[in-house]
Structure 1
Amino acid sequence: MKKILALLVLAFAVVGYAQQGNIKPKFQAFSGALLKLKDAEKGFQKFSLKVDVAPWSFQAIGEVRVPNGDSEALREALFEGDLYAVLAYIDNSPVEINGDVYQVGLFDVMIYFDDEPTTVRNVKFKLLPPVDDDWSKSGLQDALSSGSLLGKIWDGKYEREITKASADPMDKGKLKAMKRKKQEAAEEAAAMSVSEKKKKRMKDMAEEDQPKKKKKKKKASRDEDECDDPSFTPKERKRCLMMKKR
């Protein structure tokens, strides 16, 4: 009995910790053009959101309720730009891979229709490469657990933060630009690496040749000293130098 009471106290303490604002969610909006919708079944449509550009590399799937029973309403809103998704995440477990930082603390997604939250259920996340390792997955699981303690986050509690995120959603154009920028940076780094290697190789070759030149110069100087006898006539000195060069 005491153990059960202790566990209950611990659970309430954790919930209180989350609800008091010590765990603060962040939000990122994504354009409806990144969403894929399937045909409606029993009042719900399955959706998929896939993003694979740092700081994101995930796929979210779930089901969204058809508004007003109109099975085509969401598709029409998607084409008209009135549909978008908002991702909720906890920024306490980012993962750095090859210089890029990825957010893996994802815990919920909401689909907005005409700037109003819909009803979403059965949301699941899958981390994509390069953050599909066990360490990243553990960060995702921690976020899912922590996020569940926050209660209802789409009922207006974080309206200001969500509105700010929704004002500048990530779309295909921005993702392509981010990919292009990353690729250009990688190519520039590779070119610099090749250039640095070439400079180092040239420097090493120059250092290898330098002692030989010094040695040769020293030998020539010694030869000149031997032939620089004051008693030699110019003709004898010239002959001496010629003999040394043979």
Structure 2
Amino acid sequence: MKKLLTVIFLACAMVFAQEGSIKPEFQAFSGALIKLKKAEKGFHKFRLRVDVAPWAFLAEGEVQAPGGDSDVLITALFDRALYAVLAYIPDKIAAGSDGEEYNVGFFDMMLYYDEEPTRIRNLSFKLLPPANDSWAQSILDDALQSGSLLGKIWSGKYEREITKASAVPIDKTKLVDMQQKRQAAKAAEAERKAKEEADRRAREKAEKAEKAKFKSKKHDDLDCSSRKLTAKQKRRCKMNGK
């Protein structure tokens, strides 16, 4: 019995220790990015798709409005009163095939209506290209498992962090701006590398020209009539000079 209690105690201690080491962060997304279907038995099927670095995922699930009103969430989309908040572990990052880094450590999501949490069920996440290889998936799986140790994160424990994130949700305009900035950064980097390559080739060309000039000058300074040369060396010297 004592051994069993010891094992249980150690297991609980490990869980609490791991929970304390997890520091989740939150990112809000505008309701304009959310697609809702007509309610069935009080629940709307929803999806949120984002594919601009550092995000590339599809979240799907079912949502019920506070109070169970089947029409209020559809209206909320037009009134901009509905938004999503994604919970993720910030150090779980995967490299995309495009060379960018992506956050893939998300583990939960909540839809808010007028700052009130809704009811979510059957939530699932799917990674999207260019950050959806097996390595990225393993990071996501680990995040889902680690995040579950935090318990009910929407019940007030992280209210300050969630409120802060909700104040600046990512919308379509911001996604376009993020994409344009990254494209501009890539173009600038490509231009920098092209200039470095052009400079390198110019240096190599100048070095070759300098070596050729030095070799030519050295040959011009060669005295084929020097007494130090044998007759054979003099003939060879004159032949090389032609």
> What is the TM-score of this pair, normalised by structure 1?
0.81
1:198 aligned partner: 198
Deviation at 1:47, TM superposition (A): 0.8
Contact map agreement 1:37 1:46 (CA 8 A) in 2: yes
1:127 aligned partner: 127
1:117 aligned partner: 117
1:170 aligned partner: 170
Deviation at 1:117, TM superposition (A): 0.4
2:159 aligned partner: 159
Letter in 2 for 1:13: A
Higher alpha-carbon deviation: 88-97 or 35-44: 88-97
Q: How many correspondences in the alignment? A: 226
Higher alpha-carbon deviation: 8-17 or 36-45: 8-17
Larger Cα Rg: Structure 1 or Structure 2?
1
1:241 aligned partner: none
Per-residue Cα deviation, 1:6-61 (whole angstroms, up to 9, x for no partner) = 76445423432355x33222111111111111111111001111111222111111
**Secondary structure at 1:40 match in 2:** coil
Contact map agreement 1:27 1:86 (CA 8 A) in 2: yes
The 2-side partners of 1:3 and 1:135 are apart by 38
The 2-side partners of 1:101 and 1:33 are apart by 25
The 1-side partners of 2:17 and 2:211 are apart by 71
Higher alpha-carbon deviation: 90-99 or 28-37: 90-99
Residue 209 in structure 1 maps to residue 206 in structure 2 = no
Contact map agreement 1:57 1:129 (CA 8 A) in 2: yes
Alpha-carbon distance change, 22 to 214 in structure 1, aligned in 2, over 3 angstroms: closer
Name structure 1 gaps, 5 residues minimum. Answer: 227-244
Name structure 2 gaps, 5 residues minimum. Answer: 226-240
> What is the TM-score of this pair, normalised by structure 2?
0.83
1:45 aligned partner: 44
Contact map agreement 1:67 1:73 (CA 8 A) in 2: no
Identity %: 55
Letter in 2 for 1:163: T
